[in-house]
Chains A and B, each alone.
Chain A
Amino acid sequence: MRYTAFTSYDIVLLAQGLGVSLALFLATTIIGLFIGSVWAVIRFYRVPVLTQLVTALAELLKNSPVLVQLFLVFFGLPAFAKFNVTPVEAAVITLSGNTAAFVFVIAVSAIESIGRDQIEAARVFGLSRWQILRRIIAPQAMAFAIGPLTGLLVNQLQVTSLISVIGVVDLTKMGNILNLRTLKPFIVWAIVGALYYVMAKLIAFAGAVLEKRLRAHTAWKGL
């Protein structure tokens, strides 16, 4: 009986799992945001060959299941390229790539949403393409993208749970272990679910705060 009890130490274990999930989420978000943005800039400059390459890659990544990509990296890379990856490495590679693909799509549409007339004005005043990107397009594109981006990141947080299948002891894997030991699925999974929920809410909240700040210029302050 004692072995199946839910103890306070199990809370510590769940917190550890939560830490792993959060660390993976943050790392892959930062890498994904960076790579996706670089791809979008490549497209903005219409760099020959590279543009087609990143567009095709993004298409592949966002139209196939993350789990399949994860298996491909974790089992496929060692078999095909004789390149061994640890579960954590496979998780970082796969989730970063997946986030990058969606960031790319959001960034491209955000860049294209900026009115042509202001870009013409900036060109006429002699700003270079890079200056226009940095001073005119990027600040507005960010305000435009922050909503979809927040939605994406909330989703990507949930997607991190997939890595539990290749043995990374994240929150879901920890839940699985505790579930098998305590045989109290309702309690364990309710706690795990609640933890994901709270994290997702925090991400959404941060996104909303940022959005409000980035959209300051569109808020009417007449009264």
Chain B
Amino acid sequence: MISARGVRKSFGAATVLDGIDLDVHGGEVVSILGSSGSGKSTLIRCMNGLEKLDGGRITIDDFDVSRQKELTEARKRSATVFQLFNLYPHMTAVQNVALAPVEVLKTPRKQAEAEARALLDSVGLSARADAFPSQLSGGQRQRVGICRALAMKPRYLLLDEITSALDPEMTADVLGILAKLAREGTTMVFVTHEIEFARTISSRIVFLDKGQLVVDLPTAEFFAADGGLAMPRIAQFLSKMRKD
């Protein structure tokens, strides 16, 4: 379980997260919605230990990410896919995927690379396995990014606006892979602007506004006229997003 309690984070004078409480249980897909600057990405960056908390606590399977020793364990259980892919440019797709299993999990290189090829194959990239990131399209890069996360066999996938840098066609490719992962029961924390897609795969929707968690509802309730939609802030957000 990923558990956040009273999480606070500010950059200088700007408070980005203002007391967030959130639990993500195994097998759930939790989508985090909210307008730009609401703190969605910062919340993910706090979960994977890239940002230090100014207050509160985040644990991943009871490992506290604020403690250096426990962070290592927490990071072994979760894997992040980034908005801008963040691939290692000097390594081929296979090497990108196999690096952390070899270095961190101590998987033998041959086995790690075979598993990497199998993963790349599962997202339709078997022909591009030996290409460098600069030789791949955005959608292909993000598929490599997803494989790189899956190669760590994480219990939790943290997805930070992973389709924001992609065109609609590439977005559809990447979302197709997520839908498959969701069907297989992968636990995901999904920060996104893809409202309709979030609706189809999520078990719960969380809405952030100005660093505060406004609602945390099962998906059906969030989109119900007497549920989330009854709240003016959410109705306004959804109508705006759908127009865009």
Contacts and interface: CB of A to CB of B under 8 A. Distances in A.
Nearest to A142: B90
Contacts of B220: none
B65 to A, nearest CB: 11
Given A117-B84, A118-B89, A140-B89, A124 B135 contact: no
Interface residues on A, range: 20 to 34
Contacts of B100: 122, 125-127
Given A121-B82, A222-B135, A131 B103 contact: yes
B188 interface: no
A123 B72 CA distance: 10
Contacts of B76: 126
B104 A126 contact: yes
Given A123-B50, A126-B76, A131-B103, A139 B135 contact: no
A218 interface: yes
Contacts of B104: 125-127, 131
B134 A218 contact: yes
Contacts of B75: 124-126
A184 B83 CA distance: 70
Contacts of B49: 123-124
A115 B132 CA distance: 16
A221 interface: yes
A197 B148 CA distance: 49
Interface string B57-85: 00000000000000010011001101010
Contacts of B82: 117, 120-121
Size class of the B contact interface (CB-based, 8 Å)? 20 to 34
Interface string A103-145: 0000000000001011011111111000100011001100100
B22 interface: no
Given A125-B100, A217-B132, A120 B79 contact: no
B80 A124 contact: yes
A50 to B, nearest CB: 22
A127 B79 CA distance: 12
Interface string B7-41: 00000000000000000000000000000000000
B89 A125 contact: no
Nearest to A121: B86
A136 B88 contact: yes
Contacts of A220: 134-135
Contact of A124 (B79, B84, B89): B79
A139 B100 CA distance: 16
Given A124-B80, A125-B75, A126-B72, A118 B134 contact: no
A216 B88 CA distance: 14
A127 B86 contact: no
Interface in A137-156: 139-140, 143
A165 B133 CA distance: 53
B79 A218 contact: no
Interface string B113-131: 0000000000000000000
B103 to A, nearest CB: 5
Interface of A: 115, 117-118, 120-127, 131, 135-136, 139-140, 143, 217-218, 220-222
15 contacts: A115-B89, A117-B82, A118-B86, A120-B50, A121-B88, A121-B148, A124-B48, A124-B79, A125-B75, A125-B79, A126-B152, A127-B103, A136-B88, A218-B134, A221-B135
Given A120-B86, A124-B48, A125-B152, 11 more contacts: A117-B86, A121-B80, A121-B82, A125-B75, A125-B79, A125-B148, A126-B152, A131-B103, A135-B99, A140-B90, A217-B89
CB-CB nearest 9 A-B residue pairs? A125-B100, A121-B86, A126-B104, A217-B132, A117-B86, A126-B75, A217-B90, A124-B80, A124-B48
